[in-house]
Amino acid sequence: MNNKKILIVDDEPHIRALLEQTLESLEDNGTELLFAKDGEEGLAMALHHLPEIIFLDIMMPKMNGYDACRQIKQQTSSYVVLLTAKGQETDRQKGLEAGADEYIFKPFDPDAVLLKAIKLLNR
């Protein structure tokens, strides 16, 4: 068991479900999948569980992904991947300025997300 954790933070239940399906094969290797439905809950879970990877939506209630990312990166060493439908270069730049390690656009390729997670967990 490697006891690694991946936190998925998205206010849309179908996106959380898609990411769960995409990443569930990692659970066989002992990786724990955690879920939060808004930025505030995501921040609290990130600080409590210290996941290796966080897939973080930008447009969410209570706290947006940029603000959550900024605080997570100040207080943890988690790798943050922003997930967003906002495909403008200015949005990407804002995410990187908030400390995001990477930016993935919705709709995303589940296979690419799984490969990314495997690569990050094994680094």
pLDDT in tens, 66-117: 999 999 999 999 999 998 887 788 888 899 999 999 999 889 999 999 999 9
Answer for the pair 118, 26: CB distance below 8 angstroms, yes or no.
yes
What is residue 1's predicted lDDT score, i.e. its pLDDT?
43
Q: Give the residue extent of every domain in the chain.
A: 5-121
Query: Burial of 84 by CB count in 10 Å (0-12 exposed, 13-18 middle, 19+ buried)?
Result: buried
What is residue 113's predicted lDDT score, i.e. its pLDDT?
96
Distances in whole angstroms, Cα of residue 43 to Cα of each of 69, 75, 90, 91, 122: 8, 10, 24, 20, 24
What's the CATH number of domain 5-121, 3.30.460.80, 3.40.50.2300, 1.20.120.530, 1.10.287.1060?
Answer: 3.40.50.2300
pTM listed for this prediction: 0.95
